[in-house]
Amino acid sequence: MAQSRNKQNSRSNALVLTETIIIGYVSYLASFISVEAFDLANPSINVLAINIGLLILFVQTCALSVGLYETKLRETFRGIIRRIFVSVGLAYFVIETLTSTAFQSLQLHPYYLPTATTLIIVSLVLFRYFTNRLGLLGLGKSRIIILGAGERASIIERRMRRDVDRTGFELVGFVPIPGDNRESGIVKEKIIHVRVDQNFRRFVQENEIDEIVIACDQRRGTLPIDVLFECRFRGVEVTDLLDFMERETG
């Protein structure tokens, strides 16, 4: 589980860093566009830098507060768009209030802040779309395989059907184990017929499995402890079904 958490944290850190760079670049670009479009004088470098810093600070703070960087964000893409609008909108309100009251010397021309926030929203929405669609920055997406295809394993099929329920992992398939209740087991998911012996260890290596989830109905005399121990020794996580469900569903 520690390895999986490290991957999830790495993905969140990569998202924060990448979106910080995007916000900073777009904020600078907004000043250039405003000056060129409305024939305005170039702002002071120091004032512009402070405004860019304020945008980065407040947009990212609001994004953190609305949960955009949660490692287990169970949300549709529309929900992510709403959170982006809320975080950027809050940042706009705070900066506009500060620069028009207490820090008037930091206020740029009136077109800068609306242009910057609009470009930030568009850029973050597009970035999140391609990140989700193409699997970019997928450092937290682990390849897992389920040992078991019976009644216990069917919990995953029933309660984690949607794509948003599986954002943190890629489910390779279910391996039937002797003693599984197949009548109440997996119906629609992929079943992988491989013997859980040395061939299974080879299968794990060839398919680059990151985690094995134990979800068989009958454990006694059915689990090859030596094979699982060797997989764990080679860096593959071995997790119980309940621990896996608790981690992925939050």
User: In tens digits, what is the pLDDT along the chain, a chain of 250 residues?
Assistant: 455 556 566 677 888 899 999 999 999 898 888 777 766 667 778 888 888 899 999 999 999 998 888 765 666 778 889 999 999 999 999 988 888 887 777 777 778 888 999 999 999 999 988 887 666 665 446 789 998 888 888 888 888 877 777 776 888 899 888 888 888 888 888 898 888 777 788 888 888 888 899 988 887 777 778 888 888 888 888 889 988 888 777 6
Instruction: Indicate the angle between helix axes 225-233 and 198-206, nearest 10 degrees.
Output: 30
Report the side by side order of strands in the sheet with 237-240.
169-175, 142-147, 211-214, 237-240
How do the domains of the chain map onto residue ranges?
Answer: 2-134, 142-249
Single pTM value for the model: 0.61
Q: How many CA atoms lie within 13 A of 131 on its CB side?
A: 21
What would the two tokens of residue 102 be? 């207490």
CATH, range 142-249: 3.40.50.20
Question: What would the pLDDT profile of 181-231 be if each residue is shown by its tens digit?
Answer: 888 888 888 898 888 777 788 888 888 888 899 988 887 777 778 888 888
- Give strand ranges (E) for 126-250: 142-147, 169-175, 211-214, 237-240
